[in-house]
Chain A
Amino acid sequence: MNEKPEHFDEHLDLRVSPEFSADLNTLFKPQFSIPPEIDRIVMDRAHQQLSPKHWRHRILRHISIWRIAAAAAVIIFAFSLNLTQKPGPTTKQSLLVEVRAVDIDGSGRVDILDAFKLARYVESSDRTVKKWDVNGDGLINSNDVDMVAFAAVRLPASVLPAQKTRVQVDKGV
């Protein structure tokens, strides 16, 4: 148990002769000298570039930049579309149906004369024409007249939702 292996022998002579050392230096010495600082920098960079963590970080960084770029592109596109302006509540088809419904005199145009003729009809005693119940409440009255009149003055390019005008408010519609 107290035996020590021979190659761990403390008394083993590891020294080489100066001649042998000089020969080794002659054989393996570089032709030019590299400062130790440069050696260290090269090694550090090599470690950084080759480490897997570094590559993951670079990929994630590139992805996040592209995400920001995509978000910016979406925002610019949205502003170019002017999404703050809401489209009108009526479609062309529903507008056509409405126009047909309130063209009282069948002139092909909805104007104040349709409302005027309907108002004269409302004031008359005979109210048998059910198709002139424009708002579909079962009655033919001033509300139908107002609806036709407002259809007549509606702006074609109106983009705002229908609102009550002063007349509507005054009449309590």
Chain B
Amino acid sequence: MKNVIVIILLSISVMVPVLARQSDVDYPEIQSKVRFAPVHIYLDSGNKLLAAYQFELKAAPRQIRIVGVEGGQHKAFEEAPYYDAAALANDRIIIAAFDTGSELPKGRTRIATIHLQIIGDAEPDYQLKLIVAADADANEIPAKISFEKGE
């Protein structure tokens, strides 16, 4: 009888952490509402031509999952930019692109669109940071980065 009790207790002690971990992983899908939305990223380089950019977007943990990245509005940046594939299904991404051509945008232009899975009803707290922007001579230029939430 004692042996049976010991085995049952050991089984419980093994199963509880496993089930807890499982429920922890599945929590967002089961308990939270999930929706998909794009976020458009804009860069304003003023009167300077924009040839290269790099920025980072992140949100609070468990608020978003990045599901895709799209290029920008201008022909110079319409191809999908560089990003780490590990960022997909994550809540943080670094995106960068450049163009060596002569047809470059200036002023405010959409440089990328990030498709997100938003977890929960609360609006994600996005943190957008411009790492670098440069002109055609690869000189750093001042620029202002912003985002707009899409539908």
* Interfacial residues, chain A to chain B (CB-CB below 8 A): 61, 65, 68-69, 72, 75-76, 79-80, 105, 111-113, 115-117, 119-120, 123, 146, 149-150, 152-155, 157-160, 162-167, 170
Q: Which of A72, A80, A111, A155 has the most CB of B within 10 A?
A: A155
Interchain CB contact under 8 A, B86 and A61: no
Q: Which of A72, A113, A163, A167 has the most CB of B within 10 A?
A: A113
* Interface residues on chain B, size class: 35 or more
The yes or no answer to B138 lying at the interface (CB within 8 A) is: yes
The stretch among B33-41, B89-97, B121-129, B142-150 that forms the contact with chain A is B89-97
Interchain CB contact under 8 A, A162 and B85: yes
Known A115-B98, A152-B54, A153-B95; judge A165-B132 contact (CB<8 A).
Answer: no
Min CB gap B125→A, angstroms: 19
Min CB gap B23→A, angstroms: 13
Interface pairs A-B: 8 shortest CB-CB: A112-B96, A163-B85, A116-B98, A160-B86, A158-B86, A112-B54, A149-B82, A153-B94
Interface of B (DSSP majority class): mixed
Min CB gap A122→B, angstroms: 9
- Chain B residues whose C-beta falls within 8 Å of the C-beta of A76 in the assembled complex: 13-14, 17
Q: List 19 A-B contacts (CB under 8 A).
A: A61-B3, A65-B6, A68-B6, A69-B6, A111-B132, A112-B53, A112-B132, A113-B52, A113-B54, A113-B138, A116-B51, A123-B100, A149-B96, A152-B54, A155-B92, A155-B93, A155-B94, A158-B87, A160-B86
Interchain CB contact under 8 A, B94 and A154: yes
Q: Which of A79, A146, A166 has the most CB of B within 10 A?
A: A166
The yes or no answer to B103 lying at the interface (CB within 8 A) is: no
Interchain CB contact under 8 A, B14 and A112: no
Min CB gap A14→B, angstroms: 52
- Chain A residues whose C-beta falls within 8 Å of the C-beta of B54 in the assembled complex: 111-113, 152-153
- Chain B residues whose C-beta falls within 8 Å of the C-beta of A162 in the assembled complex: 85-86
- Chain B residues whose C-beta falls within 8 Å of the C-beta of A115 in the assembled complex: 82, 96, 98
Known A111-B132, A113-B134, A170-B80; judge A72-B13 contact (CB<8 A).
Answer: yes
- Chain A residues whose C-beta falls within 8 Å of the C-beta of B87 in the assembled complex: 155, 158
